[in-house]
Amino acid sequence: MEHKREQLQRRHKRVRMKVKGTAHRPRLSVSRSSKHIRAQIIDDEKGRTLIEASDLKVAKKLSKGERARLVGKNVAERALEKGIAQVVFDRGGFRYQGRVRTLAESARRVARVMAGGRRFSFRATVVAGNRAGKVGIGVAKGADTALAIEKALRQAKKAYISVPITKTRSVPYEVEAKFGPARLLLKPAREGRGLIAGGAVRSVLDFAGIENASAKILSRSTNKLNNARVTIEALKSLKGYHATSHAAAEN
């Protein structure tokens, strides 16, 4: 326990050396315990706490993640009311994951201010395929989720690739691929073994029509988009791969 506390204090000190709030761009500081989470917007130049929000008054029946999201939304809305459009994020000694990340992303979505007023944008990642050897990935942004998904779907269909599939609905041979920090090992499997993969990798293989295969992420990457793209790279490297046009994919 003492070792973890020391690590937390060292990380906090390291972050605070780099992050300082000003009147024009105050500091959004996050602190949490095992049960609760709190956010403060601080002007370090004047030594004042401008805004404070926590989940102490939020319904306990909500999950910790949902409470963190509400705190982020609350602190961002109150910041906008006071004319605060930008902040520097201070995660303290906590890692940028879990409730800390949820709070920060919720606040960012609410408080994103551009010239002409507030603008909200949503990003969608879509995997599309015909489950018969055609698959593609599309990523797009839109003013709402429906528009983002529609644009991403069009991109996914334009990016269709052809995947060679054996009679047993597997890949022809073992292959290893890399995309950015993500590395993947894709291996064939006998009929009836099923698809041994998870998350984004499974989605890509499933939409391609592969039913019997084993896939393993060899890197420590947890980015779903990178994992999906490295799967596409693995399928591209199989013999017989070639890019297809949207029209050819539809036929």
CATH code for the domain in which residue 212 is found: 3.30.230.10
- The parent domain of residue 168 ranges over 124-250
> Which is more confidently placed, 1 or 37?
37
Q: Are both 138 and 195 inside the same structural domain?
A: yes
* 73 and 133 housed in the same domain: no
Q: Tally the domains of the chain.
A: 2
Q: Both 144 and 111 in a single domain? A: no
Please identify, among 118, 135, 152, the residue that sits at the C-terminal boundary of a domain. Answer: 118
Distance of CA 205 to the CA centre of its chain: 20
Is residue 188 domain-shared with residue 224, that is, in the same domain?
yes
| Structure tokens given for 171 | 């890949």
> Has residue 195 got a pLDDT over 90?
yes
CATH number at residue 28: 3.30.420.100
Decide which of 73, 93, 118 is a domain's last residue.
Answer: 118
Same domain? For 88 and 193 the reply is no
Count other Cβ atoms within 10 Å, centred on residue 187: 15
Q: Which pLDDT band holds residue 19 (cuts at 50, 70, 90)?
A: low
**Does the pTM exceed 0.85?**
no
Residues 103 and 177 in one domain: no
**Same domain (yes/no): 90, 201:** no
pLDDT digits (tens, 9 = 90+) for 101-112: 777 776 666 555
Residue that is last in its domain, among 94, 118, 142? 118
Residue 214, pLDDT score: 96
In tens, the pLDDT along 51-87 reads: 888 888 776 778 888 888 888 888 888 888 888 777 7
Same domain (yes/no): 106, 131: no
Same domain? 188 vs 149: yes
Residue 192 shares a structural domain with residue 237: yes
Same domain, 20 and 136: no
